[in-house]
């Protein structure tokens, strides 16, 4: 495979399709040659804005049959031309399929190959597992025949059969399947390993069903039971099995949300695990309406109405644990899309020590909680762990000598000894009404779930001015912008400076999987992104990167921890607030005179501890360019986070 042929191939296609002209092609080729790292020509055209990323994907999809696997992988920047050439040489000797050789020799992982082919070629990725596929399609098909062809027929829809194949580009397998089923074949993709495993299990399962001849026995054996509130009759199709599969696997994978989304030509199922969406499986498009109707029926929603967005809930018992599923439908141009939030019936209340704070943050935050009055703000976007921090703070403060009263929306955990109230928008009982009544309850500590508007901010300030300690959260990006927004919504600066004692901002980062994390040397560009830390001597630290193994679903991460920064409102900060400094100026003051360690620096510290990766920190931590105005060395940052304080921090 020569240099020219690869370049010209995609180039010619783009020319032929009229997406670029001859002049642009030449410019792209020149640009490509100048690059030190190999970038596929299609990608160069995207970078030069000759074509869009979508254009390129469409073209790759359209010409998939004319592109060889090797070419495709090069165009997707998964492999270099040299690597493909080496693999092709190897293929001449061993005579296996190129995909197999690439995987066996460690050029790519199989799941990587499957995911990329699926996304780039628009071929559904379907897990070849019993429960997810329709066993009726397999009647009369022999197990060795499927093992030999490395494929598994999964669904029949009138005139077509969906077949899961390890190589969906193989004309030979497609032809064999067409001859077998005498109809159109819709290819889907899965790894060869999963297909072979799937064939074995599905055929074992079929034998078991034939022996039992009773569907209920079979479901009980799977230890999965959806608590059915309306008890519609069981149908003979496998829709219910598919639903059970999707829900029970989500729970086994510790997902927090399930998304079932109709795309143009398939149904996509994704899980949110540790805050990140994972493409679990696809399903044929035709299954969508039935699947979603069955789910809606279970939640007691209106099945006939497919144009209105609806919300419902469903109880599930899986592996002897109860779960509350909040189901919400959204009418899209391709049909109804469903998202399901999975809530365990009983959550655990966390201790401050379990939140993943650095030793310095934990110590400082406990000190702040110990101050008898004033407002303690926790800031961050949705799903940044603010509520968990507030509850852990209450748990820390809760004792027989203090009266704690809360107003929340909604009450997510109940804490013994704490008086908890819940706002109710329907009856017009909002935060402000509650706070007025709370003050008459003679509390020591008040927790207000969230500052929503001027009225609730006013009420929080008033409660603090009358000598109470108030814990609350605010939906802003970081510490300084929380203070700024308070005066933007109309709270006088002298009131802010005299009531707020600290702002903590936080994010959740994924923690590296302890089973597979690998030490590595971060690139100069990654270290440069931590521009407030200087100098960094990478050889003095051990950084780790995510790899992926069976334990972590191949993600390289398991679980989450927090990144945080605390801005203490000391005398200098009070002046900064009274003088209405900008957020950038405020941060400089806090860093110079208050020893503020930014969220990004906190993340850097956690990366040096092997808790998370530098890339993951950059993904979630907010960035303030003014932080680089007060630089600290990596050594100082680590020391500060470990409590060897930089200067004497004044708390109040």
Interface positions with Zn ion (CB under 5 A): 513, 515-516, 549, 551-552
Query: Which residue number is nearest to Zn ion in terms of Cβ?
Result: 513
Q: Measured from the CB of residue 557, what is the shortest distance to Zn ion in angstroms?
A: 8
Residue 341 · residue 384 · CB < 8 Å: no
Q: Name 257's bridge partners.
A: 272, 341
Which pairs from 205-214 meet CB under 8 Å and 24+ separation? Answer: 205/130, 205/135, 206/135, 206/138, 209/135
**311 membership: H or E segment, kind and range:** strand 311-318
Phi and psi dihedrals of 506, rounded to 5? -150, 165
Of 94 and 276, CB closest to Zn ion: 276
Alpha-carbon 567 to chain mean position: 28
Of 522 and 548, CB closest to Zn ion: 548
Of 510 and 632, CB closest to Zn ion: 510
**572 membership: H or E segment, kind and range:** helix 571-578
Q: Measured from the CB of residue 548, what is the shortest distance to Zn ion in angstroms?
A: 6
Of 556 and 603, CB closest to Zn ion: 556
Q: Measured from the CB of residue 280, what is the shortest distance to Zn ion in angstroms?
A: 17
- Give the Cβ contact number of residue 368 at 10 Å: 20
Of 554 and 608, CB closest to Zn ion: 554
Of 410 and 519, CB closest to Zn ion: 519
Of 514 and 647, CB closest to Zn ion: 514
Of 211 and 550, CB closest to Zn ion: 550
Q: Measured from the CB of residue 194, what is the shortest distance to Zn ion in angstroms?
A: 18
Q: Measured from the CB of residue 603, what is the shortest distance to Zn ion in angstroms?
A: 20
Question: Does the CA dihedral 617-622-624-629 come out positive or negative?
Answer: negative
Whole-Å CA distances, 346 to 275, 342, 398, 413: 20, 12, 20, 9
Of 353 and 551, CB closest to Zn ion: 551
Residue 126 · residue 164 · CB < 8 Å: yes
Q: Measured from the CB of residue 109, what is the shortest distance to Zn ion in angstroms?
A: 13
Nearest to 193 by CA among 246, 233, 242, 152: 152
Q: Measured from the CB of residue 111, what is the shortest distance to Zn ion in angstroms?
A: 13
Q: Measured from the CB of residue 533, what is the shortest distance to Zn ion in angstroms?
A: 28
Q: Percentages helix, strand, coil for the chain, rounded to the nearest 5?
A: 45, 20, 35
321-332 sheet: strands from edge to edge = 224-226, 311-318, 321-332, 335-344, 257-262, 266-273, 276-284
Nearest to 91 by CA among 81, 101, 82, 104: 101
Q: Measured from the CB of residue 552, what is the shortest distance to Zn ion in angstroms?
A: 3
């Amino acid at each position: 495979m020569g240099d020219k042929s690869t370049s010209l191939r995609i180039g010619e296609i783009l020319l032929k399709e009229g997406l670029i002209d001859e002049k642009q092609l030449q410019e792209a080729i020149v640009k490509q040659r100048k690059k030190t790292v190999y970038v596929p020509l299609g990608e160069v055209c995207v970078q030069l804005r000759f074509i869009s990323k979508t254009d390129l994907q469409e073209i790759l999809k359209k010409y998939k049959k004319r592109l060889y696997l090797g070419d495709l992988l090069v165009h997707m920047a998964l492999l270099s031309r040299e690597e493909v050439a080496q693999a092709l040489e190897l293929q001449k000797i061993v005579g296996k399929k190129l995909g197999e050789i690439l995987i066996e020799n460690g050029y790519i992982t199989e799941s990587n190959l499957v995911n990329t082919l699926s996304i780039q070629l628009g071929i559904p990725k379907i897990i070849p597992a019993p429960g997810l596929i329709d066993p009726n399609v397999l009647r009369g098909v022999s197990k060795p025949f499927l093992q030999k062809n490395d494929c598994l027929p999964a669904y029949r829809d009138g005139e077509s059969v969906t077949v899961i194949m390890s190589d969906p580009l193989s004309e030979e397998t497609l032809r064999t399947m067409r001859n077998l089923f005498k109809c159109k074949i819709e290819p889907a993709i899965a790894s060869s390993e999963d297909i072979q495993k799937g064939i074995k299990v599905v055929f074992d399962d079929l034998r078991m069903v034939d022996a039992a001849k009773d569907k209920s026995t079979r479901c009980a054996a799977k230890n999965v039971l959806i608590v059915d509130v309306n008890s519609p009759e069981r149908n003979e199709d496998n829709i219910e099995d598919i639903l059970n599969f999707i829900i029970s696997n989500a729970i086994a994978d510790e997902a927090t949300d399930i998304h079932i989304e109709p795309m143009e030509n398939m149904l996509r199922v994704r899980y949110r695990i540790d805050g990140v969406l994972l493409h679990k499986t696809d399903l044929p498009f035709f299954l969508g309406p039935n699947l979603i109707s069955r789910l809606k029926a279970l939640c007691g929603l209106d099945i006939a109405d497919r144009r209105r967005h609806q919300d419902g809930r469903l109880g599930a018992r899986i592996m002897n644990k109860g779960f509350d599923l909040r189901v919400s439908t959204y009418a899209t141009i391709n049909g109804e899309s469903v998202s399901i939030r999975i809530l365990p019936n009983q959550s655990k209340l966390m201790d401050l020590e379990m939140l993943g704070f650095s030793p310095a943050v934990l110590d400082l935050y406990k000190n702040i909680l110990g101050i008898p009055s004033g407002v303690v703000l926790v800031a961050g976007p949705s799903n940044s762990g603010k509520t968990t921090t507030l509850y852990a703070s209450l748990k820390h403060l809760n004792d027989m000598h203090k009266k704690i009263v809360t107003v929340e929306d909604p009450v997510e955990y109940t804490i013994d000894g704490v008086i908890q109230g819940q706002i109710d928008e329907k009856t017009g009982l909002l935060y402000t009404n509650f706070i007025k009544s709370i003050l008459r309850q003679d509390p020591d500590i008040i927790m207000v779930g969230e500052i929503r508007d001027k009225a609730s901010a006013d009420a929080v300030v008033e409660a603090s001015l009358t000598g109470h300690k108030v814990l609350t959260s605010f939906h802003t990006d970081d510490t300084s912008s929380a203070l700024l927004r308070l005066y933007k919504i109309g709270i006088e600066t002298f009131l802010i400076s005299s009531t707020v004692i600290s702002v903590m901002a936080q994010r959740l980062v994924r923690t590296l999987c302890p089973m597979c994390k690998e030490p590595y040397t971060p690139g100069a560009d990654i270290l440069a992104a931590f521009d407030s830390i200087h100098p960094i001597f990478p050889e003095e630290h051990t950084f780790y990167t995510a790899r992926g193994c069976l334990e972590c679903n191949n993600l390289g991460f398991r679980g989450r921890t927090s990144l945080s920064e605390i801005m203490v409102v000391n005398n200098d900060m009070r002046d900064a607030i009274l003088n209405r400094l900008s957020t950038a100026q405020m941060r400089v003051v806090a860093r110079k005179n208050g020893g503020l360690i930014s969220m990004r620096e906190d993340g850097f510290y956690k990366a040096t501890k092997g808790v998370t990766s530098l890339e993951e920190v950059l993904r979630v931590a907010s960035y303030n360019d003014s932080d680089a105005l007060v630089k600290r060395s990596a050594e100082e940052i680590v020391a500060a986070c470990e409590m060897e304080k930089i200067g004497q921090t004044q708390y109040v």
